[in-house]
Amino acid sequence: MKKRSFYYLLVLALLGGCANFKEVKPIHPKVGHPDYPKIVDSLQPKFQWKPIAGSDVTYDLIIYECSEDTSFIPKKEQRFTARRLAYYREGVTETECKIEEPLEPNTVYIWSVRVRRGKEVSDWSVYNYSMASSGLRMTWINYPFIFKTPESQD
Percent of the chain with pLDDT over 90: 40
Residue 42 makes CB contacts below 8 A (sequence gap 6+) with 149, 150, 153
pLDDT in tens, 77-96: 444 556 789 999 999 999 99
Q: Minimum mean pLDDT among 8-22, 40-54, 74-88, 106-120: which range?
A: 8-22
**Is 65 a domain residue?**
yes
- Mean of the per-residue pLDDT values of the chain: 77
Domain that holds residue 33: 2-148
**Is 53 a domain residue?**
yes
**Is 115 a domain residue?**
yes
pLDDT at residue 77 in the model = 42
pLDDT at residue 131 in the model = 61
The one-letter amino acid at 130: S
Q: How many domains does the chain have?
A: 1
